[in-house]
Structure formats: C-alpha cells, structure tokens
A and B are shown apart, each in its own frame.
Chain A
Amino acid sequence: MSTRKPYVRPMTGWWLKNPVYIRYILRESTAVFVGIYAVILLIGLIRLSSGEAAWNGWIDAMRSPGAILFHCVALGAAVYHAITWFAVAPKVMPPLYFKGEKVPVEKLVTAQYILAGVIYLVLLGLILWS
C-alpha cells in the first residue's frame, strides 16, 4: 500500500478569500449593469417604433428617481470596467517598439485614457453642434 494520500483542499467560497478575487468578481459583475442598460435601451427602441405615446411613456419612466439612480450606478460600473480593462489591455497586445525601445506599459495605459478622452470630447462636440 502506498504511503501517499494527497489532500485536495476544497474551493468553496474561494472568491471571498482574497481581495484580488473580490475585485475580480466585482469587475465581472459590472457586466450585469451594462447588460441591463442595454436591455433598457432596446426597450426604448421598441417603444419608439410603436408610436409617440409609448415613446413618451418610456421617457417619463427614465425620469423617475429609480431610473436615474440605476443609470448612475450603471455609469459607475461601466467606468470601473473600463478602468480595469485599460489596465490589462497592454497584456493583450504584442509589445510595441518605438525607436528600438519597448514602449512601457504605463505609457500604453495613459495613451488609452487620452484616446478615450478625445473620443468623449468629439462626441460631446457632435451632440452640442447638432
């Protein structure tokens, strides 16, 4: 008989046992808010196609305190998701070289924020202009 008896530790509740895992679960769960937001938008579209009354009803619903609160939370979630995504994006790309030197990760992350900011301003400009 072998004297080996490897002990396998259970994984139950693993995601609560380390702050990193909690943050990970949080990041993943932000997807839920973004998902709900998409569904709400979709409903709005359907309402728009089914006549002015329906559309106005949807608009009113959106003005309720509950809806505003939800949108704030969803915005927060989306921003959090974006931040975490910006942080890992350099891992997904092959290394970039500039004048023979590898571009450092921090620069890549900053570049994403700048890019996001520029896009935001352009969109804002478009809306204000129209």
Chain B
Amino acid sequence: MANNEKTIEIEVLRYRPEEDDKPFLQSFKVPFTDDMSVLQGVQYIKDYLDGSVSFRWSCRMAICGSCGMMINGVPKLSCKTFLREYYPGKITLEALKHFPIEKDLVIDLSDFIGKLESIKPYIVPDAPRALEEGEYLQTPRQLDRIAQFSSCINCMLCYAACPQYGLKPEYLGPAAIALLHRYNEDNRDSAKAERMQLLNAHEGVWGCTLVGYCSEVCPKDVDPAAAINRNKVNSTIDYLLRFVAPRGGN
C-alpha cells in the first residue's frame, strides 16, 4: 500500500457469549484505500488486529446475503458499503437489530429460516407435469410479476429495519411475506389458498403497520412493503369472500 495511507476508526459492538454478560464497544484503527468496503475493513481487523472478532461473509458481491450489519445504525450489506463514505468520521458496527446476537456481529436467524420453511416456498402444481412435456409456458409479463419478489437474498436487512418484528417476533415479516407473494403470483402454482391462511393471521400481513423502512433498506429492490400491503388487500378480499361463499373445512 502507498505510504500516504489513510486510517479510519471502526468501532465494533463485541459480544462473546462465553465471557460477557452484555455487549460492549471496541475500537480499532484500520488503514484503508478508497475502494475498500466495510467488509474489507472488518476482515482487516480479524486478520491483523484481533482474530476473535466474528462475522459472516462469503461472496463479496452482494448476492449471498451473509454480511448484513448495522453500519452507523442503518442496516446494510457490508460488502457493498464503502469506508470512504464515512471518512473522516468513524464507523460503528453492530449486529443486525431485532435478532439475538450469537457472537459479535453474528445473529441467530433460525427464526427466519423457520418462517421461510413454513410458507411452502415451492411450486405446488395443479397437476404434475412430466419432464417430457417440456417447460410450463410463462410470458415475460407473467415473469415480471414475480421477478422482483424472487430476487430476495435473505439478507435480513428488512427485519433489522422493522420495529414491529422487534416488538413481536411472531410476525412473519417482510422477506417471508415477499417470498410467499412470489409463489402466490406465479402462474405455475396453485397453493395460494393454503398460503392465504398464513397471511390472514394476526402474525401475517396484519402485523405490519406500514413503517415502510424495510423497502428502503432492501439492497435488491425487492420492495417487501409492496408485497405485504398488496396482500392486505388480498387478505381483506379473501375474508369477505369467505362470508359470501364459505369454503368447506379442510
């Protein structure tokens, strides 16, 4: 590296479950160049300053969804946030909000995984189709209806942005509802009725009070708030329809 090297202060909210009762801030001075991401900054800390700092990462290109953290209070992907944006100020890093901290910047996301599994995130076809019959037809327009909602990388930034999730962890939450919507809107699927029950519940779309921050922080323009609020409409229609034409028991 060049000798006119700049350094930036990075504070990390540490929590070591085997030693600490509660988290504390630890500060590091990190040399950096203009093209370095926040992730590279934390990697530098781990590699050369304190090997015990723990965090998740892999792809470095904003697609694997591992590296989310609170960067100066805002949920972001650390691999696509750059140190230069904060210099000469300091950066404070914290594990994603609203999730339990396992260690340092690592959260426990098993709650979300459970929710993802619960929404039947797969195509349930009307009648199974043999491979020899080839692909289902889907026009670009039909694809467009699901394209944005199928771009979710499960990075959990939206949950860290959602105070309702922080207050009521039962709430299904933005990404899970966006994914549910993606399958409901897919012309190849026929399990909408079953998924609607999840949405109609109190922990479903009605857990949302339209703070709208989830869509603002989403790094992939999924716009989960749109999925949630469109389904408030759907859920209401579904509710009314049940008075008009009650469905048989299941």
Contact = CB atoms under 8 A, between A and B. Distances in A.
Direct contact of A and B (CB under 8 A): yes
Nearest to B224: A91
Contacts of A24: 211-213
Interface of A: 3-9, 11, 14-15, 17-18, 20-21, 24, 28, 88, 90-95, 97, 100, 102
Interface of B: 15, 17-18, 22-23, 73-74, 97-98, 100-102, 108, 141, 144-145, 161, 163, 166-167, 209-213, 215-216, 223, 225-226, 229-230, 232-233
A102 B8 CA distance: 44
Nearest to B20: A7
Contact of B229 (A3, A91, A102): A91
A15 B17 contact: no
A7 B23 CA distance: 8
Given A97-B141, A102-B144, A7 B100 contact: yes
Contact of B163 (A5, A14, A88, A100): A14
8 contacts: A5-B18, A20-B211, A24-B211, A88-B212, A88-B225, A88-B229, A91-B225, A94-B230
A20 B97 contact: no
Contacts of B22: 7
Given A20-B216, A91-B226, A4 B167 contact: no
A114 B45 CA distance: 54
